[in-house]
Structure 1
Amino acid sequence: MPTFDIMLPYYGDVSLMQDAVRSVLAQTDPDWRLTVVDDGREPGVPEWFAELGDERVRYQRNPENLGITRNFQKCVDLLELERAVILGCDDLLHPHYLATVRAILEEYPGIGMVQPGVEVIDGTGAVVEGLVDKVKRRLYAPAVENRARMGGEELAASLLRGNWLYFPSICWRSDAVKPVNFRDGLSVIQDLALVIDLLQRGEEMVVDTEVVFQYRRHAISESSVQAFSGTRFTEAERYFREVADRLDAQGWTKAARAARFHSASRLHALTMLPGAVRRGGSSGVRTLASHAFSSGSSTS
């Protein structure tokens, strides 16, 4: 039985999804199984998978649309193997992704999460570094030479200041993720919530710098549309308040302060304000301004 469950919750562009699947098929390490959970109705998709002829690829189409969070949840429920990757349906693995992750796991057996090196691509596949990713790398991501093990309150506080992870690139220990799951009521910030929950349960992460993953960032995505409307930040504000209380109860006061101040989220809202003004959405402008300029109860 293979070691790696690669889960692909799919909805959207067919050609980008097919490229993602091909990047799995191209792995130099063959020890994987791919499960595609189709939450859409695009024509020809079931037939394309039937023609692949690779027994390691499993495909299923949901009888009804579940939405982002519930489809991700279904992917977690379907996990059976030791390790899991929840691949974005428009992201790409380098051919040596699994080989690199396996080497990390051999050095750190039992680790809950592995964040390998990532490069960002645009809708055409060109490698780019926009403002969001520059801020992630230069202001919030820790300085790592080659490889580092992290966890506990320090990592939680770092991520709550600014989430520098690339969720679809992470390799998870399945028996750590399945009991925790995604939080109901979250759609955009669910990735951060899952990681913080795991850290609170004592799991740790290895961060590696070798680039083995391409994360696709589109000019207009589900998260950016929600950002202009302010919906994203309404969700974020609610989550940061709730998690700060939980962290205080655990005695992680530094991480709780970081959650209440959520500096990167506030900066993101500030950068979205001009676009919201140009779009003429007064409700979105008010929500963004409130999130960006709220003082928080303390600083981190």
Structure 2
Amino acid sequence: MTEYDGRPPLLDIVMPYYGDVQMMQGAVRSVLAQTDAPWRLTVVDDGREPGVPEWFAELGARDPRVRYERNEHNLGITVNFQKCLDAADAGLVTMIGCDDEMAPDYVATVLGLYAAHPEVAMVQPGVEVIDDHGAVHEPLADRMKRSVFAPKAGGVQIMGGEELAASLLRANWMYFPSICWRTEAIKKVGFDPAFTIVQDLNVTLSLVKAGEKLAVSDHVCFRYRRHPASESSAQAVDGKRFREERSFFMAEAARMEALGWHRAARAGRRHLASRLHAATLVPSAAKRGDVASLRRLAGFALLPAKDSGKDAGRNTNSTRNGH
């Protein structure tokens, strides 16, 4: 851990918190262990776990870079995300998940990438996936991201425009909690309350359409936790996830056509990774004898949606929709 040297923060690390106390404390400790000091951590607590305010009060008394606030009532994921983003005023911001972990050189890495590439608005460092116990593992979805969809060039790659849009519409290979953003850029977009599943992709594509660029590094300095039984997994089984994804991809395809980005539009209409994800859930639904889920999943996997005026007209552009 590098002692605080009094410099104003160059990076705001914001954490929307709800859930497991031990994992949250592990995430906080990973921030405290950073080798570079110009960061500030803000935790916005959307839960009621006992002892948490007291733990942060003691921590904040020792380190003035740590700020904590507990919401008076539960705001929900999207509103709490926006509240965290609103709290950031340093030039850069990272929204770490409350169960993820930073390697000790995360801050040094992203600050170095921005120093070398001041033209970018987003930095995606290398990520390793961990399980509930903190062990490195790579589920099928992450193996596909890495081996099939993510950029293959080593070192640092600068991406933007239709190339990046098409790549992300084929498969969202980025890991949102690990991304470091230019604060001014992401605040112009914010979090759309209409979304629960594609929130991160909507933010990223809104910036890409606005002309912003991304730096992708293969230097691993972030640990992203993948839970076997998450809310998004349940939403996948009941079809909510894929309905939201399909509507979003078709609306984005129409907007890509309007920009003249025809390759990106085709990727949106095909939404390949989303359909592959649905296909991977078909065997488990069949094994359970869940006929309704089986039909839903097979439909999402086999039949890409057709363009529709309703979907194409949906407002998912880079405004903050009243936030």
Could you say which TM-score interval applies, normalised by the shorter chain?
over 0.9
Alignment partner of 1:2 is 2:1 = no
The AA in structure 1 aligned to 2:146 is: R
- What does the per-residue CA deviation read over 1:168-208, in whole Å, with 9 as the maximum and x for residues that have no partner? 00000000000111222111111111100000000000000
Residue 276 of structure 1 corresponds to 285
CA contact under 8 A between 1:2 and 1:33: conserved in structure 2? Answer: yes
CA contact under 8 A between 1:228 and 1:275: conserved in structure 2? Answer: no
Pairing partner for 1:218 from 219, 227, 235? 227
Alignment partner of 1:29 is 2:36 = yes
Residue 26 of structure 2 corresponds to 19
Residue 51 of structure 1 corresponds to 58
CA contact under 8 A between 2:156 and 2:217: conserved in structure 1? Answer: yes
Pairing partner for 2:80 from 49, 71, 81? 71
Aligned equivalents of 1:8, 1:99: Cα separation in 2? 19
The AA in structure 2 aligned to 1:293 is: L
Pairing partner for 2:130 from 121, 146, 165? 121
Aligned equivalents of 1:279, 1:60: Cα separation in 2? 43
- Residues 193-272 of structure 1: matches in 2 within 5 Å? 193-272=202-281
CA contact under 8 A between 2:155 and 2:218: conserved in structure 1? Answer: yes
- Residues 83-94 of structure 1: matches in 2 within 5 Å? 83-94=92-103
Label 1:40 to 1:277 Cα distance change in 2 as closer, same or farther (>3 A): farther
Query: How far apart are residue 108 of structure 1 and its match?
Result: 0.5
Query: How far apart are residue 111 of structure 1 and its match?
Result: 1.4
Query: How far apart are residue 281 of structure 1 and its match?
Result: 4.4
The AA in structure 2 aligned to 1:250 is: L
Query: How far apart are residue 248 of structure 1 and its match?
Result: 1.1
Query: How far apart are residue 45 of structure 1 and its match?
Result: 0.7
- In structure 1, runs of 5+ residues without a counterpart are none
CA contact under 8 A between 1:229 and 1:276: conserved in structure 2? Answer: no
Q: How many residues align?
A: 298
Question: Which TM-score applies when normalising by structure 1?
Answer: 0.96
Residue 311 of structure 2 corresponds to none
Aligned equivalents of 1:78, 1:279: Cα separation in 2? 45
Query: How far apart are residue 246 of structure 1 and its match?
Result: 1.2
CA RMSD of aligned residues (A): 1.3
The AA in structure 1 aligned to 2:284 is: G
Pairing partner for 1:157 from 159, 163, 166? 166
Pairing partner for 1:60 from 46, 69, 83? 69
- % identity of equivalent residues: 56
Label 1:281 to 1:70 Cα distance change in 2 as closer, same or farther (>3 A): farther
Q: Secondary structure at the match of 1:99?
A: helix
Aligned equivalents of 1:142, 1:69: Cα separation in 2? 29
Query: How far apart are residue 9 of structure 1 and its match?
Result: 0.4
Question: Which TM-score applies when normalising by structure 2?
Answer: 0.89
Aligned equivalents of 1:44, 1:281: Cα separation in 2? 42
Mean Cα deviation higher: 277-286 or 186-195: 277-286
CA contact under 8 A between 1:233 and 1:287: conserved in structure 2? Answer: no
Query: How far apart are residue 286 of structure 1 and its match?
Result: 2.9
Residue 101 of structure 1 corresponds to 110
Query: How far apart are residue 296 of structure 1 and its match?
Result: 4.6
CA contact under 8 A between 2:170 and 2:270: conserved in structure 1? Answer: yes
The AA in structure 1 aligned to 2:151 is: P
